[in-house]
Amino acid sequence: MQPDAGKITTSQFAKLHGINKRTLHYYDSIGLFSPRWKGENNYRYYDYMQGIDLEYIRMLKGLNMSIEEIKAYVDHPDEAAFLQIADEKLAEIDREIQSLRRTKKILRRKKEQLELCRTRKDRDIRVLQCEEEYYCVTPFSYCDDDIKGLYAHIKDVWSPGQYSMGIGSYLSVENMKQKAFDRYEGLFTYAQKRTEKGVMVRPKGTYLCGLVKGTWEHLPEFYEELMHYADQNNLEPIGYAYEIGLNDFVISGMDDYITQIAIRVTAS
């Protein structure tokens, strides 16, 4: 065998392991992973067997360890230290998984809302069977403040992870019948867990559901249409009317805003 048979250049080693040679230069510069030989021509050469060491470093990097953490461990490997690192990184991964699940849930809900907007007409009214839902709620009266105050209140009581699911308001059936549309009970957003503080349950059951397009000034008139529909179909509203915007994240003006109203009903 020739003396240099086991030596390969940085470019060859990088290609062999599917890594950018600049990454190898960086690892060399910080003393994390260096070529085994340095030739007279100032070229650096790796050994094929060094691939095992590189893959070990990449495995640690895959555990979400920083370069600093990897170097500290490679310089001083220790069983107890690795077990501690493993526990910490497993906890980080669990948190990331939970975050991704929340993001997926938000995207799925937004997609469903947009699909609903595309398949239903303005002022469409239907009776639907709805599943139980959980809402985080907070008291808020629209007559007490303006839109700026509304959003300030939302940021005070909920985290971005909570209100990114969407924000709605709820009105008692009594106030709805009295046309007291300035006396909402409060605001809600979807709860991630039933055990969250301040969670209200929207019961499973039959709901009178309607969609209306336009600014909030159209809502009182649409409530009239909903109550007329209920009277004509022998339905008795109970509990609360739940309002939520379906497409606020894809429109440029309130004229295109679509509100969904859901009111629980029983046969009268």
**Do the domain assignments include residue 100?**
no
| pLDDT for the residue numbered 146 | 65
Closest CA to 135 of 178, 94, 186: 186
| pLDDT for the residue numbered 116 | 94
**Do the domain assignments include residue 189?**
yes
Q: Same domain for 124 and 232?
A: yes
| pLDDT for the residue numbered 176 | 96
**Do the domain assignments include residue 31?**
yes
Q: Same domain for 17 and 139?
A: no
| pLDDT for the residue numbered 112 | 94
DSSP letter assigned to residue 187: E
Q: What is the CATH number of the domain that holds 165?
A: 3.20.80.10
**Count of domains observed in the chain:** 2
Q: How many angstroms separate the Cα of 51 from the Cα of each of 17, 47, 48, 244, 250? A: 8, 8, 6, 57, 49
**Do the domain assignments include residue 129?**
yes
Give just the sign of the alpha carbon dihedral 210, 226, 179, 253: positive
Query: Distance between CA atoms of 211 and 114, rounded to whole angstroms?
Result: 12
Pick the last residue of a domain from 76, 103, 135.
76
**Do the domain assignments include residue 81?**
no
| pLDDT for the residue numbered 78 | 86
Q: Same domain for 64 and 130?
A: no
Q: Same domain for 28 and 123?
A: no
| pLDDT for the residue numbered 142 | 66
Blockwise average pLDDT, block size 10, the chain, 268 residues: 68 93 94 88 86 92 87 88 86 90 91 94 96 91 67 85 88 95 91 77 96 94 97 97 94 93 95
Q: What is the CATH number of the domain that holds 67?
A: 1.10.1660.10
For the chain, what is the largest distance between any 2 Cα atoms, rounded to a whole number of angstroms? 97
| pLDDT for the residue numbered 143 | 59
SS3 252: coil
| pLDDT for the residue numbered 2 | 46
| pLDDT for the residue numbered 85 | 83
**Do the domain assignments include residue 102?**
no
**Do the domain assignments include residue 99?**
no
Q: Same domain for 71 and 143?
A: no
Q: Same domain for 66 and 122?
A: no
Q: Same domain for 45 and 177?
A: no
**Do the domain assignments include residue 85?**
no
Q: Same domain for 55 and 140?
A: no
Q: Same domain for 138 and 231?
A: yes
**Based on the number of CB atoms within 10 Å of its own CB, is 265 exposed (0-12), middle (13-18) or buried (19 or more)?**
buried
Query: Distance between CA atoms of 244 and 248, rounded to whole angstroms?
Result: 10
Q: Which domain holds residue 31?
A: 7-76
Closest CA to 244 of 189, 175, 178: 189
Q: Same domain for 59 and 178?
A: no
